[in-house]
Amino acid sequence: MPEMRRDPITKNWVIIATERARRPESELIDGDALAEGIAHDPACFFCTGNEYTTPPEVMAYRREESMSDKPGWSLRVVPNKYAALNMEGSFKLDNSNNNNLKVSGYAAGLAEVIIETDHHSKNIALFNNKETFAVLKSYRDRYLVLSQEDAIEYITIFRNNGKEAGATLIHPHSQILAIPIVPINVKNEIGGAKEHYDKTLNCIYCDIIENELREKRRIVCETDNFLAFAPYWSKTPFETWVAPKFHSARYETLSNLHLEELAIVWKAVLYKIYAGLDNPPYNYYIHTAPVHESPDKYYHWHMEFIPKLTMAAGFELATGMYINITIPEDCADFLRDIPVK
Amino acid sequence: MPEMRRDPITKNWVIIATERARRPESELIDGDALAEGIAHDPACFFCTGNEYTTPPEVMAYRREESMSDKPGWSLRVVPNKYAALNMEGSFKLDNSNNNNLKVSGYAAGLAEVIIETDHHSKNIALFNNKETFAVLKSYRDRYLVLSQEDAIEYITIFRNNGKEAGATLIHPHSQILAIPIVPINVKNEIGGAKEHYDKTLNCIYCDIIENELREKRRIVCETDNFLAFAPYWSKTPFETWVAPKFHSARYETLSNLHLEELAIVWKAVLYKIYAGLDNPPYNYYIHTAPVHESPDKYYHWHMEFIPKLTMAAGFELATGMYINITIPEDCADFLRDIPVK
């Protein structure tokens, strides 16, 4: 039974999910998916022809005449076979004993995998326009479906690229974890944003973006409506954020037209990181507003790209602070100068 | 110039320290320092005879007749040559511009390295009683000296074991970072502990320890005055905490007698992790009260040992939550049964 437990001191939650330990390790990869990689691997669970090896798909972009869980798809979303959460139980605090020292709950939620392409090993940084649009659209489409679940308080969409960043399968994929609480990092952002709003009546993200556009010191790339920049307070080398220039708390409200434009900036960031830093391991994720809260006036969705070039070690674990060995302005200069192909 | 910058949204601090990028990489190790490793490496900066390659020592345990920065020591503390902070400037908030969107300060502080033995590659899990006592004593002794500095608000002592846990040199060593702010993880612990104290007049750590001793489900080992246990809310497999059974907010107030007893539990945890988990990479650190705050009634010092058997990836970065693929009670059972040699 997947379980959530709460640190009684900091109130942070942990998911205890032994099911995850059973993930296949046979396909562990070395972090270097190549542009010239193979298009099809008969042993890959995510490749065309092996649809039966995954749980039944919950969504797919596929040729009109094609059938569910059969070939003919270009993007496919399936439940995670090794899910850290499930909807068999419901999340209720169990703090019956010990004066709140042992608070737990059923880890109710959903875990899905977005198989981003039928190509076994194409690097996402080399996706064409149609493919990049499809990935960003699938994020929105799953948000809209999953947010209908009453039990879901937050939907996390993230991507691990390369073994050192936690990827266990080479076939390009993103992941979704829909969970029954609002996670601490998002809570903290919302808290800080609210404080700023209460003082200024401005969205702090809008203020930051306006300042970046004025200073022009940390911009990586931009379109009319979207900006990629290195945060002034970057935790890691080449950390890059992508956000809409217009105020919007929710990724899931993006129109197809905006998704197409976002895809240009998103692809540019991925390509610059890929080409400029030699296809490093990285993670990215979307921060959007919680499903059932309304911080819409002062929260602002964004994506955070975190290349993994250095390692968080004892100091970071002990303090929650990061030591960044690069200057964010230098990182932005470097990435800005990489041409996108 | 080392600089600190503050995330305007969450108020978390980052240290920007390009000096760290210049650390030597020639001695990168593979994480498997062996018991039978070599006692002396003439190329090692930390080995006897090479004292001149480090900055002058600030403390050492050495033979009475021996001279500073010469052989004759058994433990030696030196400033970190590649320090993330220094005391050349002073920490003052610079939030003069942009309505607090760009808050920074001089990264004022001290970074030191504790060279724990003159043996080039002895695994710390195999240290004898005299050696383990010396390490724990050096932590206390440096705390007492560094806490005299007005500019220092927090002193972090931590250890990275193995390359995958961030160690860059094989010669056994711990690290100290004395910083001009109280880090977020400690702030959060103090905040939670105060909340519990305000409600119950109890230290929450004392309550947790009492409960662990009563339930006997997560104990790894213990002496009369110290307990090692797997937290109910463990973030990672085999996470282990060591804390005094008696109430104490400050590691630095430990007597020599208590240090000797602590060394038994500390060594047992290190040995059980070493022998039971095949010398895995791990980090540990001490959480003690901030230098200039007085949470002494409700805070409780402790050490956290975090073996690195799984990887924090996109989900953890996005949310600040962890997925633990093991059950803490099972981990405690496993470690408890490993005999200590």
Look at residue A26 in the predicted model and tell me its pLDDT: 39
Instruction: Tell which A residues from 219 to 238 touch B, by Cβ distance under 8 Å.
Output: 231-235
Residue partners of A54: CB distance under 8 A and separation at least 6: A45, A46, A78, A79, A81, A113
| Average per-residue pLDDT for chain B | 91
Look at residue A83 in the predicted model and tell me its pLDDT: 85
Question: Which residues are bridge partners to B113 per DSSP?
Answer: B78, B175
| Average per-residue pLDDT for chain A | 91
From chain A, pick out residues whose CB is under 8 angstroms from the CB of B211: 98, 101-102
Look at residue B100 in the predicted model and tell me its pLDDT: 79
Q: How many CB atoms lie within 10 A of CB A277?
A: 18
Residue partners of B58: CB distance under 8 A and separation at least 6: B77, B78, B79, B112, B145
Look at residue B41 in the predicted model and tell me its pLDDT: 93
- Do A84 and A71 meet the contact criterion of CB atoms below 8 Å apart? no
pLDDT top residue among A89 and A120: A120
Look at residue B310 in the predicted model and tell me its pLDDT: 86
pLDDT beyond 50 at A3: yes
pLDDT in tens, A183-193: 999 999 999 99
10-residue averages of pLDDT along chain B (341 residues): 85 81 50 62 94 96 96 97 86 72 89 97 95 98 96 96 91 96 95 95 96 96 98 95 98 98 98 96 97 96 95 92 93 97 86
- Do A307 and A238 meet the contact criterion of CB atoms below 8 Å apart? yes
Q: Distance (Å, rounded) from C-alpha A190 to C-alpha A258?
A: 24
pLDDT in tens, B223-246: 999 999 999 999 999 999 999 999
* Chain B residue nearest residue A299, CA to CA: B9
φ/ψ bin of B99: left (φ > 0), alpha (ψ from -120 to 50), beta (otherwise): left
Q: Do A320 and B5 touch (CB under 8 A)?
A: no
Q: Distance (Å, rounded) from C-alpha A269 to C-alpha A73?
A: 26
Lowest mean pLDDT among A80-84, A114-118, B304-308: A80-84
**Minimal C-alpha gap between A284 and chain B (Å):** 6
DSSP state of B81: T
- For B165-177, give one letter per residue: b (16+ CB within 10 A) or e: bbbbbbbbbbbbb
Q: Do B207 and A9 touch (CB under 8 A)?
A: no
The pTM for the full model equals 0.93
Q: Do B18 and A232 touch (CB under 8 A)?
A: no
Look at residue A147 in the predicted model and tell me its pLDDT: 96
Question: Which residues are bridge partners to A173 per DSSP?
Answer: A115
From chain B, pick out residues whose CB is under 8 angstroms from the CB of A325: 17-18, 20-21
Quick check: ipTM above 0.90? Answer: yes
From chain B, pick out residues whose CB is under 8 angstroms from the CB of A20: 323, 325
Look at residue A93 in the predicted model and tell me its pLDDT: 76
| Intrachain domains A3-179 and A184-336 with the same fold | yes
**Minimal C-alpha gap between B64 and chain A (Å):** 33
Question: Which residues are bridge partners to B76 per DSSP?
Answer: B60, B115
Task: Give the best-scoring range by mean pLDDT among A16-25, A137-146, B309-318.
Answer: A137-146
Is the domain defined by B184-336 classed in CATH 3.30.428.10?
yes
Residue ranges of the domains in chain B?
Answer: 3-179, 184-336
B3-179: CATH superfamily = HIT-like (3.30.428.10)
